[in-house]
Chains A and B, each alone.
Chain A
Amino acid sequence: MIMPSLTNDTVTDSFDAETFAFDTHSTPHDFAPLEDAIAYVRDLVAPVWPLKDYVAVTPYAGFANQHFLAAHQQLQSVSTCQLLPSLRELAKSFAAKRFHIHDIELALGEWRFQSTSTASLFPDACDMTVNDILRYLHLDPTENETAAANLESLKTLSSWFDLANSTNWSNIILDEIGKHCAAYYENGQSSWQNPWKHLSLLEAWRSAATVDYNMDCLGLVGFRASIAALPHSARQIISQSLHLLGVPQQLWPQYLHCLVLSMPGWFAWTKYQTDYSPTASSTRSDFEDLLAIALTYESKLAQLTEFSVDWQAYWRGVGKRSESTGLQKNWLMRMILLRAHELSVERGLLQSINVKSAHLPEVSETQIKSRKVAQIVCCIDVRSERIRRNLEASSESIETFGFAGFFGVPIEHLEVGQVSGVSQVPVLIKPQIQVREGILDEPLSHTLAAISASAVRTRTEAIWKKFQYSATSCFSFVESMGGVFGWKSFASTQHHLGLFSRSILKWFAPLSSPQRGPTLCGLNEQGFDHRKQAELAAAVLRNIGLIDDFARLIVLCGHAAQTVNNPLSASLDCGACGGHSGKPNARFAALLLNQSYVREHLAERGIVIPADTFFIAAVHNTTSDEIELCDLQHLPESHQKDIEQLRRCARFASQQTRQERSTALGAPSTNNLLQRCLDWSEIRNEWGLAGNAAFVAGPRAMTRGINLDGQVFLHSYSQEKDPQSTTLELIMTAPLIVAHWINLQYYASTVDQAHYGSGTKTIHNPVGNFGILSGNSGDLRTGLPMESVHDGKQFYHHPLRLLAVIAAPRAKITPIIRKHAMLESLLSNQWMHLVVVDNEKFYRYQGNNAWQWIQQRSESLHS
């Protein structure tokens, strides 16, 4: 029997379970404040990608439209999250002379100048002086930190309960939620899978929770029985739970935010599922479902133990706390010291930049000199900086460019024998072309054979795995194969033997792999005809800024890391390729640009590529710094000499780069770096993008020959070749944002390991093939591990917000910032900084179309 729909009053006033069990007709109006609160927290949460495409994400993406300091204040009011570096680390940096008193003065001056707009945040703290800050720095930093930490923030009900009764319910609830989420999302880890995966997260959880006695066993008797009486929709559950908890309506957003930050990992994962995963759709509501689930545990704890919290009084306390002068002073000091460090880095970078060449047309430079042997296009990744510098140092006749590592070809790469491909694009755009791999230079029958053989191998391995992991046969498997695994362990410890045994096994393997590579098969069928292929090729060249003066060889050099036994390996790969190797993109782009019909079309569009120019693909192995050249079999005899020279230069550059990196890694020799690629016990194969601090878009002449120590993203840009500013707009809205995300990911993992880092790798426990747990259970860990930012003694990465330096006139940049509100808010809220090189002078963007000329001081003043 269907109950008549209830009136608004019933819905808002009485929240007993029975009313809700039947109430499915309430109007949206009833939920308006709730919807707002949910939308509010949902927008604040950043997603996390699965391990296989673990790209960099800033956990603070949702705060972009708030001032940096305001975001810190907000995070502190509902959690223990830190957005500012600790005073201890800042004091260390100051003591190590990474910034000076002069920088503090500048930062303070800048703060005073801005404080008209931000004064409302800190009314009492504006009258501090440099001496105050210095005195503060020399205090015992630990004392300051603990004084600040002792002040309380909003807590979830379970945390309150634990404090009051010295229990551990908040952790138990976290483990429970983690258990259910892992079972729902796991991808091939368990053989007996959750039977409710086809339902929504909420329904799957409800189905399991009505059977599950775990909470009852742990002491919350009656929990299981109460699940059946929950309302139908997530929204109703959230509403009911908030009322049960007694949270007043005006505190809903804060309470939900607090709840989200008590398990940032799982909420980030549901956010990914809702908005970014391949199965994401408007009907998915994983995030809201998880909110409902988490609130159910909280509210049932309150209900079954009859525990309540006076939220109003409590929130007033939090408000008073954030108004306390001591705390405000602490925050402001840290903010100013952070800025001082950034200004010091900025000064160093701007001083080294060759301003004069920022506006020299590149043409004239190349025209004077003879034609280059090779032009090498590398990814903007900070790791490319070293290899580019050393490549250029190896020979006068090598020129390098910086461009997003997917080379502007938005492809989905389909390996032989696979039915679904890998998206080789930055995560925020969708792949547009499906590129199929095939056996190169052989008739189609070979590709067919390879597909068939791949299927045989996949199935053989799958059946073998079943034998290994099945409940009945695992005992026999272990008894028979134990010795083999003993050998495997021995071989992994002795990598060279491992290689040897693998080469023996290869002899037995059902298939050897002939030369495979991307093909142009099936592009026409996807509507991607010759004309469109040529358009893509033209866009690629234009955006690189490579439209004339082509060298004999043009190398598109992607990059990839080489690690073993590393679940977070994707975080070391190319972010522009969705956390994968850049190899398929480079090979496909080179293949496309070598096609004669593409070149004909390009010539019609004014890009004339000489007949003796060849595009080749390459991969920079960022762990070993080897450069592998691909697909050389089509290269004519005439270019063999060039290739030989290129190889020599690459070997030189590799060795030089290894030399530099072995110092940074504390490796005893350059050979040690090669071992790190193969060692299964290695926890720091390379530093990845640690140390990143700046993004430079401009002609290479501006930075050529300067040792930037792998700290700068380098994007090629030449304003003379971009009269319409289309490339500039693209750079500022895509690669710059990606760099900003990476920068803040490293920032967050450094300043707030507890929430946005994944802890030490030594206790990592991969869960469901998509994520990482620390130890037994608990929250899904996001961000980077300690080993990526800390060298065991101190932080290797210094948390600094990204400094973008762009060689373009202000008149061109201002309209772009105005057009893209996101850019404006990131810049004026100080999530990153922008300096332009305009007419041989530097100008800093101050928000709201205001520019400040940066006076260059001579170095002797403050050294």
Chain B
Amino acid sequence: MGSSAIFQLAGIPEFGFYFDGASALMLALVSFVGWLVCRFSVRYLADDPNRGIYFRWIGFTLATVMLMTVSSSLLMFTLCWGLTSLGLHHLLLHFPDRPGARRAAWNKFVASRTGDLCLALACLFCYLNFGTTDFETLFLHYANADSSAVPAAGSAVVGWLLVAGAAIKSVQFPFHTWLPLTMEAPTPISALMHGGIVNAGGFLLIRSQPLLASAPNAMLFLTIVGTVTAVFASLVMLTQTSIKRSLAYSTIAQMGFMMLQCGLGLFAAAMLHLIAHSLYKAHAFLSSGTLRVPQNSAASASLTGGWSGISTRQKWQTFLQSLGSVFLVALTITTIAFRPLNHPNAWPLIAILLFAILSYVYQSVQTLSIPIVIYALFRASLVSCLYVSSFRIVDAIVSTSPQYSTVPAQFWGAVIVVAGFVFLAVLQILSVRLPHNRFVQRLYVHLSNGFYIESLWRKMLPSSTAR
């Protein structure tokens, strides 16, 4: 823990700053997304009579998230997260007269408080067992688990509670229903929520990874929950008809993916995912006014023309691109060869990445058009290069933080992840190949309703409608 900096706030136990690689990354991310959202809101809400209140709460929310990222204790983390939730509650109710907004805020309230309860219990257990919730001290206790008199059961409970709290607050199935309902608040709020706040659960797990070591079953459980969420939500995403709702289900799926990475003990990969997804989703929401109208596709016959119709300049461009592709592929292979994701649980992730890239290239090969294939190869190598390099950077930064000491190989966890993704791929292929099959049609209807979980919540929380 050489690089971490710890400041104790004067006189108050449990309150201080814990600043290391992971905190720094997270703080930088939240600052960037926060700046982006505020900058966007200046014009976007220029007409809004309540913009004063809006900026007050957005400032409050950002401040609490930032404080959370540098919390020195589990207690402070939990409290800051609760305050963030409060700020968000007010932001979601920016149009308090909209019944949909009230319903969303109420749904979120119930889910968040459930998560908070788990975290509060985790704090309590830590306090009872170790007399503190301070991360630094807790990590030491856990590192010396063999020598000290820590009751093993107690530490496992803390692991379970952390996993449960993080999963519930980071919209894991079936606590995801409030997220697609939050489109009743101005667009920048969605960007902030999806790009800065909802992934705090992932950060909690990354931050407190040494505490999870004592609860390997909780990790396996997290892998399963994450896989279920990712598979479920990305299928639902495919069927959604409005931009913002499909973005919301995409966020849920991505959160599931992040959680399964945590469950597998791949915290650096989870951190990369967290950052990349935040940046991606903030952009996606802020630009949601841009329509993706499909182009009237040109006659496919002209595709096979290939080289004949291409001017000299374009030929040069294509040549340079293919040269670049070869270079980038070589670079990627070298990077992987010398510093692989050296982790026994990493192979499902590599498989998913390779599958994605290969299916991308495969689809371009199907067009039988040389320029398209070359262009796709170029992009594919760019993608893998970007992935490897950003992973290396994030890994280098996060590895300075306290780590999960010994990572047990999670064979079954990995198998579940791969099985989940195979299932996903099969269903997706079925949806394209057999759209008129009875089973596929029924599945479509159920999926477009998100398997009715939103409606069941709506029925379970009747006061939400009356409010």
Residues of A participating in the B interface, judged by any CB pair closer than 8 Å: 51-52, 166-168, 171, 179, 182-183, 186-196, 207-208, 211-214, 217-219, 417-420, 445-446, 448-449, 451-456, 458-467, 469-486, 488-490, 492-493, 508, 510-512, 564-567, 679-684, 760-769, 773, 775-778, 786-787, 790-793
Contacts and interface: CB of A to CB of B under 8 A. Distances in A.
A761 B48 CA distance: 11
Given A472-B425, A489-B279, A766 B243 contact: yes
A548 to B, nearest CB: 43
Given A195-B440, A463-B364, A211 B272 contact: no
Interface stretch (B8-16, B147-155, B379-387): B379-387
B41 A479 contact: no
A480 B376 contact: no
A464 B445 CA distance: 27
Interface string B281-297: 01110111111111111
B254 A762 contact: no
B243 A765 contact: yes
A765 to B, nearest CB: 4
A791 B237 CA distance: 36
Contact of A473 (B48, B273, B275, B355): B355
A652 to B, nearest CB: 29
A214 B291 contact: no
B246 interface: yes
19 contacts: A217-B459, A218-B459, A219-B459, A452-B309, A463-B376, A465-B292, A471-B235, A471-B253, A472-B355, A475-B356, A478-B280, A485-B280, A489-B279, A489-B282, A567-B289, A684-B47, A768-B241, A776-B100, A778-B100
9 nearest A-B residue pairs (beta carbon): A482-B276, A792-B47, A473-B356, A486-B279, A188-B294, A476-B356, A449-B309, A452-B309, A192-B238
Nearest to A563: B289
Interface in B264-283: 272-273, 275-280, 282-283
Interface string B201-230: 000000000000000000000000000001
B49 interface: yes
B299 A564 contact: no
Nearest to B307: A452
A852 B321 CA distance: 76
Contact of B257 (A52, A452, A475): A475
Interface in B146-199: 180-181, 183-187
A214 B449 contact: yes
B434 to A, nearest CB: 9
Interface residues of B, number: 126
Contacts of A768: 241-242
B314 A453 contact: yes
Tell me which of B238, B298, B360, B452 has the highest count of chain A C-beta atoms within 10 A of its own C-beta. B298
Interface in B355-393: 355-357, 359-360, 363-364, 367, 369, 371-372, 375-376, 379, 383-384, 386-387, 390
A141 to B, nearest CB: 19
B356 A767 contact: no
A166 B180 CA distance: 25
A483 B279 contact: yes
Contact of B241 (A183, A466, A485): A183
A681 B43 contact: yes
Given A211-B441, A472-B352, A472-B359, A182 B242 contact: yes
Contacts, number: 346
Contacts of B39: 493, 681
A777 B182 CA distance: 11
B46 to A, nearest CB: 7
A399 B244 CA distance: 49
Given A194-B444, A417-B298, A510-B317, A565 B310 contact: no
Nearest to A465: B292
B303 interface: yes
Nearest to A192: B238
Contacts of B291: 51-52, 567, 766, 769
A458 B297 contact: yes
Interface of B: 32, 36, 39-49, 95, 98-101, 104, 180-181, 183-187, 230, 234-235, 237-246, 250, 253-254, 257, 272-273, 275-280, 282-284, 286-300, 302-303, 305, 308-311, 313-314, 317-318, 321, 352-353, 355-357, 359-360, 363-364, 367, 369, 371-372, 375-376, 379, 383-384, 386-387, 390, 421, 424-425, 427-428, 431, 435-436, 440-442, 444-449, 452, 455-456, 458-459, 465-466
Given A456-B371, A566-B289, A760-B95, 7 more contacts: A183-B239, A452-B310, A460-B372, A466-B360, A476-B357, A479-B390, A762-B44
A481 B298 contact: no
A419 B296 contact: yes
A215 to B, nearest CB: 9
Nearest to A771: B242
A454 B425 CA distance: 31
A466 B379 CA distance: 13
Contacts of A793: 49
A472 B48 contact: no
A177 B186 CA distance: 24
B351 to A, nearest CB: 10
A336 to B, nearest CB: 31
Given A445-B309, A489-B282, A455 B46 contact: no
Nearest to A193: B435
Contacts of A466: 360, 363
Contacts of A217: 452, 455-456, 459
Contacts of A168: 99, 465
Contact of B276 (A445, A478, A511, A683): A478
A208 B295 contact: no
B465 A167 contact: yes
Given A470-B428, A482-B280, A511-B314, A455 B300 contact: yes
B32 A486 contact: yes
B438 to A, nearest CB: 9
B444 A463 contact: no
A776 B240 contact: no
Contacts of A493: 36, 39-40
A451 B436 contact: no
Contacts of B466: 166
A460 B364 contact: yes
Contact of A418 (B298, B456, B458): B298
Contacts of A451: 298, 302, 309
B44 A460 contact: no
Tell me which of A195, A211, A451, A455 has the highest count of chain B C-beta atoms within 10 A of its own C-beta. A455
Nearest to B276: A482
Tell me which of A454, A478, A776 has the highest count of chain B C-beta atoms within 10 A of its own C-beta. A776
Given A456-B375, A765-B183, A480 B292 contact: no
A217 B452 CA distance: 7
Nearest to B247: A765
Contacts of B99: 168, 171
B187 A762 contact: yes
